[in-house]
Structure 1
Amino acid sequence: MYNPSEQKTRQPLDKFRFRICQVGSNKACLFFCLLLVLLLFVFALKDLHFLKGEVTQNPGVITLTKQEEFTIIIQTFKRDDILLEVLKRCLDVPHLQKILVVWNNVDKQPSQILRDSFGHHRTPILFLEQKVNRIQNRLQPFPEIHTHAVLMLDDDILLSVSDISFAFTIWKQFPDQIVGFVPRKHVETAHGAYTYQRTKLSDPHNGGGDKYSMVLIGASFFHARYLKLYQDQPEAMHSLVDTTQNCDDIAMNFVVSMYMRTVLNDTRPSGVYIMPLDMVNLEMQARSGFKGMWLRSNHFKQRSYCLNRLAQIYGVMPLQFSDSIKTRFTWLRK
């Protein structure tokens, strides 16, 4: 049935369609459509550029990069072979912004093999050459860090991609704590002194288990703010770490505990332990012949000394105990 109102509605559209597509050829119609899409794309890019500029120029705005990506810091000394293997594994990890290699080989520059091996990769690897071989070189607030989260790795620790990704997820839930894979504890003796010990963690829901009071930073996530805070600590603490060439990881647990205790009014422990599914120590595979500190005969004695000395420096033992274990399974392996 004829409807006059429908006819009136069609007329403007018909005129428009006629002007675009019926004048000339189909090529003209196609050209117009492509031009329209291009203009829309240009305007979208302009808006995106404006928003990006607004975020980077406004210091009060936290960018997505800082929240959703992280920086890896690896300190190395004369172990290029295993460092190469660790770097290869790290480059497969999602959400990684860049890798900083703290180069402690003061008498030798990074080899061309190391530099060339990853030149084609989209994730940059920066070699930060140090003037002095200090264990605490890695705990500097490097200007190259543009993320909130830092993943610190020893150059002999090989973690699976899934373990790293899971740990990053957990860290975003506990950004004020050290989230990592190596727990340790302090034990107070009858005479009021402290000893440094390993833990024997088991499922706390099935009859209890051991506890931990530290999470070592050699395989852990923590907030980049703690790098600056570490540098601001008493000179006596830095002197202790330099003298022993040890214990910077214990000191960092003190730093985090003191910050949470005094600034955040928070009594939680310094660390959150994650049970790894696939973590390998490459120490014995190093062809350079250099062996780590934990193989020294006096290693645990020295670290016990550090615990007591740090407690003296800070005037308190701030470390708190925890039996929390984060795992991807609903049950925990013993």
Structure 2
Amino acid sequence: MSNLIAIRDAGVAIDGNGSLYSPAKEKATNRGVYNGWSSLSLRRAKQLLGAAKTKLLFGLLALCFFAALTSRFSYMMGWDLHYPSSVYFPSRVGYTVLMNTWKQNSLLKQAVAHYASCRGVEAIHIVWSESEPPSENLKSYLKNTVYSKSQKVHKPNFRFHINAENNLNNRFKPIEGLKTDAVFSVDDNVIVPCPTLDFAFNVWRSASSTMVGFVPRVHLVDKEQNNVPYYRYEGWWSVWWMGTYSMVLSKAAFFHKKYLDIYTNDMHPSIQDYVSRERNCEDIAMSLLIANSTGSPPIWVKGKIYEIGASSISDLKGHSESRSKCLNDFISLYGTVPLVSTNMKAVNAWNEWLW
């Protein structure tokens, strides 16, 4: 009895199974310590699952960042001639590529192959002004290239426009049976990636009366001669420094097909004669014509373009001076300055780091 009383006095009792009863043991049992490993395992499993979810989330974020960084790096470091456009255009709602070429068949083949792969292209027309017509082999090669590179069920129409004389006015002759309102005028050594080109086309569709392009230029007042302002033609660095432009060059620009007819049939004949004689400035003439018709500035689209092959005429000494002379001579024929300066720029937000 004394032993039993001593045990009870110590706060310990005998349970129904003859085992010692303890409140501490009961609490531990309720917490799962004496209830096997099920509760402990469950807690550990939940902890492991939570850790796995966290790692998976961080892994997905890292993968997305790496993919975005890789895409950005590829965009900055190079371009893919056959990179497909991400924009779909229904049949007959696209644009015509009007390409001027001159004794650069290897570049012409590259350019045609590239533009044939752009989904917005409905037709490719080559302005040929060489003394000899294109060979049958070249024509056959280019037609097959257009057919094989095009990603559309409806393949782009392909045609040569052969001219008897070498004249820069040839690039703006009207095209009979042209099925698109939009014309993308481009030189044979200029490559615009398809997504960039299709973005510019969408910009043009929002302002189809004006000129939309990738190569901005600006005119500035230089001085006065006999109380008449003399304007200076300025290139890219002036545009970059001031953030202002008043022209986009037809070496890579969209405009409405109606301007081909206006240039050829309604523009001041002296301007065509000037272009033919000087073998220069047809792009300035088109910029003045469209500005005079609309009273509006052009739209510069920000986008990387690539010039392939050898250097162009713009690299020759005295180029800026001759362009300035063209500009002032054309303005004197108009009797006014049609050009409108602007600092507006169309930017594709998907390609920008910050909005």
| Shared fold (TM-score, shorter chain, > 0.5) | yes
Q: Which residue of 2 aligns with 1:281?
A: 307
Q: Which residue of 1 aligns with 2:232?
A: 195
Q: Which residue of 1 aligns with 2:318?
A: 298
- Structure 1 123/257 Cα, relative in aligned 2: closer, same or farther at 3 Å? same
Show CA shifts across 1:57-95 (max 9, x none). xxxxxxx865x2211100111000011101110011112
Show CA shifts across 1:298-323 (max 9, x none). 21111100010001100001101011
Once the two structures are superposed, the pairs formed by residues 305-320 of structure 1 within 5 Å of their partners are 305-320=325-340
Q: Which residue of 1 aligns with 2:261?
A: 228
Ranges in structure 1 where 5+ consecutive residues have no aligned partner: 1-63, 203-207, 262-267, 285-290
Q: Which amino acid aligns with 1:198?
A: G
Show CA shifts across 1:164-197 (max 9, x none). 1101110000101110000000111121201111
How many pairs does the alignment contain? Answer: 250
Show CA shifts across 1:143-184 (max 9, x none). 042210001110110110111110111000010111000000
Is the CA contact 1:69–1:149 (under 8 Å) kept in the aligned structure 2? yes
Show CA shifts across 1:272-328 (max 9, x none). 000113x111132xxxxxx53212212111110001000110000110101111111
- The answer as to 2:181 corresponding to 1:155 is no
2-side partners of 1:138 and 1:76: how far apart?
9
Q: Which residue of 2 aligns with 1:81?
A: 106
Q: Which amino acid aligns with 1:240?
A: Y
Once the two structures are superposed, the pairs formed by residues 84-123 of structure 1 within 5 Å of their partners are 84-110=109-135, 112-119=137-144, 121=147, 122-123=155-156
Alignment equivalent of 1:177, drawn from 198, 205, 210: 210
Q: Which residue of 1 aligns with 2:18?
A: none
Once the two structures are superposed, the pairs formed by residues 22-171 of structure 1 within 5 Å of their partners are 68-110=93-135, 112-119=137-144, 121=147, 122-171=155-204
Show CA shifts across 1:224-249 (max 9, x none). 01111111111111111111111011
- Structure 1 117/227 Cα, relative in aligned 2: closer, same or farther at 3 Å? closer
Is the CA contact 1:86–1:155 (under 8 Å) kept in the aligned structure 2? yes
Once the two structures are superposed, the pairs formed by residues 9-24 of structure 1 within 5 Å of their partners are none
- Structure 1 116/88 Cα, relative in aligned 2: closer, same or farther at 3 Å? same
Q: Which amino acid aligns with 2:332?
A: Q
Report the identity percentage.
24
Is the CA contact 1:106–1:129 (under 8 Å) kept in the aligned structure 2? no
SS in 1 for 2:280: coil
- The answer as to 2:355 corresponding to 1:328 is no
2-side partners of 1:118 and 1:141: how far apart?
22
Decide which structure has the larger Cα Rg and report it.
2
- The answer as to 2:290 corresponding to 1:256 is yes
1-side partners of 2:318 and 2:97: how far apart?
30
Show CA shifts across 1:26-61 (max 9, x none). xxxxxxxxxxxxxxxxxxxxxxxxxxxxxxxxxxxx
TM-score by length of 1: 0.71
1-side partners of 2:234 and 2:274: how far apart?
19
Is the CA contact 1:199–1:212 (under 8 Å) kept in the aligned structure 2? no
Q: CA deviation at 1:142?
A: 1.1
1-side partners of 2:340 and 2:95: how far apart?
27
TM-score by length of 2: 0.67
SS in 1 for 2:349: coil
Which of the pair has the greater relative contact order for Cα pairs under 8 Å at 6+ separation? 1
SS in 2 for 1:283: coil
- Structure 1 117/107 Cα, relative in aligned 2: closer, same or farther at 3 Å? closer
2-side partners of 1:304 and 1:216: how far apart?
14
- Structure 1 144/105 Cα, relative in aligned 2: closer, same or farther at 3 Å? farther
- Structure 1 282/144 Cα, relative in aligned 2: closer, same or farther at 3 Å? farther
SS in 1 for 2:223: coil
Which range is displaced more, 105-114 or 310-319? 105-114
Q: Which residue of 2 aligns with 1:272?
A: 299
Is the CA contact 2:216–2:246 (under 8 Å) kept in the aligned structure 1? yes
Is the CA contact 1:65–1:147 (under 8 Å) kept in the aligned structure 2? no
Is the CA contact 1:84–1:114 (under 8 Å) kept in the aligned structure 2? no
